[in-house]
Amino acid sequence: MERGCSSLHLLLHHPFFVAAAISLLFSAFPITTAAAAGSGQGLMGVNYGMKGDNLPTPPEVISLCNSRNITKVRLFDPNAAALAALQNSGIRVILGSYNEDLPNFAADPSSAIAWVDANVVPYAAAVNFTYIDIGNEVIPGELAAFVLPAMRNIDAALRSAGISIPVTTTVSTAVLGTSYPPSQGAFTEEASQVMGPIVSFLASTNAPLLANVYPYFAYAGNPDEIRLDYALFNTSDIVVQDGSLGYSNLFDAMVDSVNSAIERLGGAGVRVVVSETGWPSAGGGNASTFDNARVYNNNLIRHVNEKIGTPKCPGNDLEVYTFALFNENLKPEGTERNFGMFYPDMTEVYHVDF
């Protein structure tokens, strides 16, 4: 049976991937991301997070991206200085919104129109927007019910402005009740109620679902059960055999568990974009080292640039955004301040080839 994988297949991963633990890990973890482009260019995107009081100016950051083969970024919110700097840069942009705006967007089409008029219309001619990202990791949670109506109103506002940009939302792996093996991936019952109609909307508008996927947290929570080389893309061994599909890295397994969950809701044509992934270089236990972060990010980029997709969705160009460009000193202490590939002075934390 042919299954839509412009899209998905299911991977079930490690049983120790306990939903509750993951849910806690991820809900405590703020997010960010970016994306890719054409031939001769790297495919990787980066998250341009700004929770720091010592970061370079947006024009300096965009120059850095251009000098390093970074062709896609994700903005967490519509920062006007960043959008101005991105004009005519050739860099493609996922544009996020503030989660606290969701209830207004959902309740009032005119607030969605005002947001689009302020943050998209003025830049649409000179900024190459990939997706508008409404709601970052709010499912499950008290804002979850606002996500789809907000997406619909933003989508309608874009259409009435004559602008064609897919509208989507970002989920964390906290939406998954089952993630192992990847083929058994499924949303929690609570998340399914919200995700079902969202997946239908994404299918009808040909938009992807954005997902934040962190093998680091899975590994750090279960170092005795998960092989470090499997988490770091540092082995070619098939570590998890899931039916006919073999997995040699945890990242693919996690992405395919999201693919399976989407498929289970009837969304087999909806692809996954990895809006965040990364590995901290410090601030946590013995897994958060410079060496592990360097190996993870370089292997990830090599994997993405190979354009081989995942075992469930082979050949599907996977669009991936690393978290993050900079170490951000206003984030909570610990690993969260140490996901950057660059220090605020734009020197490298470790070398990454994009």
CA–CA distance, 339 with 163 (Å, rounded to integer) = 34
Give the shortest CB-223-to-ligand NAG separation in angstroms.
Answer: 4
**Contact (CB, 8 A) for 144 and 181:** no
Instruction: Rule CB under 6 A: choose which of 3, 18, 64, 69 binds ligand NAG.
Output: 69
317 binds ligand NAG (CB under 6 A): no
Cα separation, 308 vs 19, whole angstroms: 28
Tokens, residue 80: 């006007």
Residue 322 binding ligand NAG, by CB under 6 A: no
- The answer to whether the beta carbons of residues 313 and 8 sit under 8 Å apart is yes
Taking CB under 6 A as the criterion, the residue among 99, 188, 292, 316 binding ligand NAG is: 292
**Known catalytic residue: 2?**
no
Q: What's the maximum distance between 2 C-alpha atoms anywhere in the chain?
A: 54
Which tokens hold the place of 201? 């909307």
30, 42, 59, 78: which one binds ligand NAG (CB under 6 A): 42
248's tokens: 């040699």
CB of residue 262 to ligand NAG, shortest distance in Å: 24
Whole-number Å distance between alpha carbons of 180 and 10: 9
DSSP 8-state code for residue 65: H
Q: Check binding of 87 to ligand NAG (CB under 6 A).
A: no
Distance, in Å, from the CA atom of 316 to the CA atom of 308, rounded to the nearest integer, reads 7
Smallest distance from the beta carbon of 284 to ligand NAG, in angstroms? 10
Minimum distance between the CB of residue 239 and ligand NAG, rounded to whole angstroms? 14
CB atoms within 10 A of CB 6: 12
Local structure of residue 125 (DSSP, 8 states): T
Cα distances from 153 to residues 150, 162, 193, 205, in angstroms, run 5, 14, 20, 13
We find the least distance from the C-beta atom of residue 68 to ligand NAG, in angstroms, to be 7
Out of 164, 236, 244, 286, point to the residue binding ligand NAG (CB under 6 A). 286
Instruction: Report d(CA 343, CA 333) in Å as an integer.
Output: 16
Please enumerate in sequence order all residues whose Cβ is within 8 A of that of 165, keeping only pairs 6 or more positions apart, or say none. 120, 124, 129, 130, 131, 132, 158
232: contact with ligand NAG by CB under 6 A:
yes
The amino acid that residue 338 corresponds to is N
Token pair for 333: 């202490």
Question: 351, exposed or middle or buried, with CB in 10 Å at 0-12, 13-18, 19+?
Answer: exposed
Residue with Cβ nearer ligand NAG (96 or 221): 221
Task: Give the one residue of 60, 291, 306, 317 binding ligand NAG; rule: CB under 6 A.
Answer: 291
How many Å apart are CA 258 and CA 195, to the nearest integer?
12
Q: Which of 52, 109, 166, 223 binds ligand NAG (CB under 6 A)?
A: 223
Residue 232 beta carbon to ligand NAG: minimum distance, rounded to whole angstroms: 5
Q: Out of 276, 319, 328, 336, which one is annotated catalytic?
A: 276
Nearer to ligand NAG, 44 or 150 (CB): 44
Q: Which residue stretch of 36-44, 152-160, 192-200, 240-248 sits at the interface with ligand NAG (rule: CB under 6 A)?
A: 36-44
Q: Is 137 a catalytic residue?
A: yes
**Residue among 4, 41, 51, 107 that touches ligand NAG (CB under 6 A):** 41
Using rule CB under 6 A, residue 234 touches ligand NAG: yes
Residue closer to ligand NAG (CB basis): 98 or 350: 350
The residue range among 147-155, 175-183, 228-236, 331-339 that interacts with ligand NAG, by the rule CB under 6 A, is: 228-236
Active site positions, annotated: 137, 276
Q: Which residues bind ligand NAG (CB under 6 A)?
A: 37-38, 41-42, 69, 92, 128, 223-224, 229, 232, 234, 285-286, 291-292, 295, 305, 353-354
